Amino acid sequence: MTVTTTAPQAALGVLPRSDGSAKYSHAGYTLTASVNGPIEAQRRDEHAYEAHVEVIVRPAAGVGGTRERHLESLLQSSLAQLILVKNFPRSLIQIVLQVEDSPENDYVNTKLVQASLNLAIMPALVQTAILALLSAGVPMRATATATAVAVVHQDGAKKTVVDPSPREVETARSVHVLAFTSHNGLLLAESEGDFTVGEWDDVYETAKGICCRAGPAKEGTAMVLDDEEASATDMRQFLRSTMESKVAADLHWK
Amino acid sequence: MPREAEPSLNEKQFVTQALQENLRLDGRQLDQYRPLEISFGDQYGVADVTLGKTRVLAKATAEVTVPYVDRPLDGIFTIATELSPMTSPAFEVNRPTETEVLLSRLLEKTVRRSGALDTESLCLVAGQKCWSVRVDVHVVSHDGGLTDAACVAVVGALRHFRKPDTSMEAGRLTVYTPAEREPVPLSWLHSPLCVTWSFFGDDGETAVLDATWLEEQVRVASCTVSLNKHGEICQIAKLGGTPVDAVALLQCTSVALVKVKEFSDLLDRRLAEDLKRRDKGGFMAELRAENDR
């Protein structure tokens, strides 16, 4: 099966019984997230001054193992930065991310238990969690957008691939995941593989172009975008338009 | 973890009284299901079933492993059910609740023990190599009728699933990747499906199909009948609760057969539609490894 690079899609409030939920699909990944909070925390998770952010990543097949725990810890530390945890002392904000569909590599038979880190799923996890948090109305300092970039060496020339397929991840020299807040701050930077500082700078610029574009390009503005950048998805605009359509639908009666 | 809020006494009485007058809160008939919808993912073996507000996702996977010592000629087939906090914050990770145990038990009895999947066909090298087929059931949202929806999802996922093709040459087992050879379907024998009846009233005189979560909390007894579209009953489970008249149960099983036929037809139709969507025709059809019988 080939993964077609299409525009990201999202739906908010898909689960009837959770406080907030979102379904997100992009680059072959489909995830559903639910957010419950602030709810009563268990004694062991209770902090006297702030809310405990609990992230649970559930794989589509098999039970979660070390690599899910690692993804959870990365997400937990990033999201706890964004959520205004000091507003809800002694409570819990629970984020559950269920992977529904992930692209498969046709050239290898997938094993159920994999020890290696799956970085390529990280942007989808971040985006879904953010959308679900927005849907639940959890107060946040800023929103965030994320993307995955791979550096592929092909015929002596190197090129950066945005949203790499599993096949590209396998052959790539290095894979990077970057997340930016809505204030253009770097929230998360995870890299895997061999790369130089120059390469990382390229990756950073590419990712920033996708995650932090300053609003839609209007006619007459002096903004110059080269062709490659203009064709790539604008994650911040996507997040904004998703929320706008949700709010418009919710306030339809007004 | 916070406990689920139980319905109040007034709410309970209201539901029960309405049901005695043959009325349901959502305006359905007593023997009417909520709209059932099945969709399949881009990958093989992913089935997404919605029954009203209940949504269940099932994913089938296969791996080559060593068979059990006592069953060297059989493959391994497992159904894993876990209710995540996504369903309700009352469910904890790695701490099975009663709902979860009952659900996995019923699915096990319905699908695995009824021999729906021919486990002998999963054997590759006797006593050494076999396929281990695993179905993961994810309950995304729970609004009653979990068993029925989960069963449709499991059966749908397994029938949609394709395992990698294999070949044996001079004692060497080769497992082909999807790029080399088109994956092959499992050897599926029959499709058992569950129909759950809920009983209300002091003596369980009112029988209701497809109870919602609120109705499930109020009911006095429930009975799950699993059968296939040929009317072969795989199991009947009535776990405790108020005793129910035997004649009423017989009536229930005959209605269940009608419902199972409906679901089977829907499942067949959706699978055929999905096959049509995937069918690229021409050269890909030629490359297919399986034979048409």
- The domain ranges of chain A are 9-106+117-238
Contact A32, B140 (CB under 8 A): yes
| Residue B291 scores a pLDDT above 80 | no
Q: Kindly tell me the burial class for residue B237, based on how many C-beta atoms sit within 10 Å of its own C-beta (0-12, 13-18, 19 or more).
A: middle
CB contact under 8 A, B46 and A101: yes
Vertex A195, ends A193 and A198: CA angle to 5°? 155
Chunk chain A into consecutive blocks of 10 residues (it has 254) and report each block's average pLDDT, rounded to whole numbers: 66 91 91 92 90 93 86 94 94 94 78 74 94 95 93 86 88 92 92 92 91 63 45 80 91 87
Tokens of A118: 């799956």
User: In this predicted structure, what is the pLDDT of residue B160?
Assistant: 94
Tell me which chain B residues have a C-beta less than 8 angstroms from the C-beta of A35.
none
User: In this predicted structure, what is the pLDDT of residue A230?
Assistant: 46
Percent of all residues in chain B with a pLDDT value above 90, rounded to a whole number: 72
Largest CA distance in chain A: 60
| Residue B157 scores a pLDDT above 80 | yes
| Residue B4 scores a pLDDT above 70 | yes
Vertex A55, ends A165 and A42: CA angle to 5°? 165
The DSSP secondary-structure symbol of A41 reads P
* Helices B146-160 & B98-107 angle (0-180, nearest 10): 40
User: In this predicted structure, what is the pLDDT of residue A219?
Assistant: 46
User: In this predicted structure, what is the pLDDT of residue A221?
Assistant: 43
Contact A140, A21 (CB under 8 A): no
Strands (E), A13-51: 20-26, 29-40
Q: How far, in Å, CA of B154 to CA of B191, rounded?
A: 10
CB pairs under 8 A between A and B: 87
User: In this predicted structure, what is the pLDDT of residue A3?
Assistant: 46
Query: Using CB atoms, which residue from A60, A96, A111 is nearest to B85?
Result: A96
Tell me which chain A residues have a C-beta less than 8 angstroms from the C-beta of B48.
100
Among chain B residues, the shortest Cα distance to A111 is held by B63
Q: Average pLDDT in the B52-63 region?
A: 93
User: In this predicted structure, what is the pLDDT of residue A66?
Assistant: 87
Query: Which of helix, strand or coil describes residue B4?
Result: coil
Tokens of B172: 């060497």
Strands (E), chain A: 9-12, 20-26, 29-40, 52-58, 91-101, 144-154, 157-162, 174-181, 186-193
Q: How far, in Å, CA of A46 to CA of A178, rounded?
A: 30
Mean pLDDT of chain B: 90
Determine contact: B82 vs chain A, CB below 8 A: yes
Which residues of B, range 109-168, sit inside 8 Å of A by Cβ?
134, 136, 138, 140-143, 164
| Residue B172 scores a pLDDT above 60 | yes
Among chain A residues, the shortest Cα distance to B176 is held by A109
Q: ω before A38 within 30° of 0 (cis)?
A: yes
Among chain B residues, the shortest Cα distance to A29 is held by B42
Tokens of B95: 């701490």
Among chain A residues, the shortest Cα distance to B182 is held by A106
Q: Average pLDDT in the B194-216 region?
A: 92
User: In this predicted structure, what is the pLDDT of residue A185?
Assistant: 92
User: What is the arrangement of strands in the sheet containing A20-26, beginning at the earlier edge strand?
Assistant: A9-12, A20-26, A29-40, A91-101, A52-58
Determine contact: B4 vs chain A, CB below 8 A: no
Q: How many other β-carbons are positioned within 10 Å of the β-carbon of residue A180?
A: 25
User: In this predicted structure, what is the pLDDT of residue A105?
Assistant: 77
Interface test with A, best of B42, B46, B142 (most A CBs within 10 A): B42
User: In this predicted structure, what is the pLDDT of residue B180?
Assistant: 86
User: In this predicted structure, what is the pLDDT of residue B273?
Assistant: 93
**Tens-digit pLDDT profile for residues B84-106:** 888 888 888 878 888 889 999 99
Side-chain half-sphere CA neighbours of B73 within 13 A? 2
CB contact under 8 A, A108 and B177: yes
What residues contact A45, with CB distance under 8 A and at least 6 apart? A52, A54, A92
Tell me whether strands B166-169 and B123-125 are parallel, antiparallel or unpaired: unpaired
> What φ, ψ does residue A70 adopt, rounded to 5°?
-65, -45
Query: Using CB atoms, which residue from A18, A32, A109 is nearest to B175?
Result: A109
Q: How far, in Å, CA of B253 to CA of B236, rounded?
A: 9
Distance from CA of A26 to the nearest CA of B (A): 13
User: In this predicted structure, what is the pLDDT of residue B288?
Assistant: 59
Tell me which chain A residues have a C-beta less than 8 angstroms from the C-beta of B179.
106-107
Residue from A151, A204, A141 nearest A178 by CA: A204
Query: Which of helix, strand or coil describes residue A240?
Result: helix
User: In this predicted structure, what is the pLDDT of residue B263?
Assistant: 95
Distance from CA of B232 to the nearest CA of A (A): 31
Among chain A residues, the shortest Cα distance to B80 is held by A62
What residues contact A30, with CB distance under 8 A and at least 6 apart? A23, A24, A99, A100, A101, A102, B41
What residues contact A211, with CB distance under 8 A and at least 6 apart? A145, A146, A147, A178, A179, A180, A235, A236
Query: Using CB atoms, which residue from A15, A60, A111 is nearest to B141?
Result: A15
Contact A146, A188 (CB under 8 A): yes
**Amino acid identity at B201:** G
User: In this predicted structure, what is the pLDDT of residue A65?
Assistant: 83
**Tens-digit pLDDT profile for residues B231-282:** 999 999 998 889 998 998 999 999 999 999 999 999 999 999 999 888 766 5
Contact B287, B182 (CB under 8 A): yes
User: In this predicted structure, what is the pLDDT of residue B192?
Assistant: 95
Most confident by average pLDDT, A162-166, B40-44, B65-69: B65-69
Tokens of A251: 């306030």
Determine contact: B3 vs chain A, CB below 8 A: no
Q: Which CATH superfamily is domain A9-106+117-238 in?
A: GHMP Kinase, N-terminal domain (3.30.230.70)
User: In this predicted structure, what is the pLDDT of residue A213?
Assistant: 79
Q: Average pLDDT in the B281-287 region?
A: 58
**Tens-digit pLDDT profile for residues B216-245:** 999 999 999 999 999 999 999 998 889 998
User: In this predicted structure, what is the pLDDT of residue A215?
Assistant: 60
Determine contact: B65 vs chain A, CB below 8 A: no
Distance from CA of A219 to the nearest CA of B (A): 39
Query: Which of helix, strand or coil describes residue B80?
Result: strand
Query: Which of helix, strand or coil describes residue A87?
Result: helix
User: In this predicted structure, what is the pLDDT of residue B285?
Assistant: 58
User: pTM here?
Assistant: 0.89
Query: Which of helix, strand or coil describes residue A241?
Result: helix
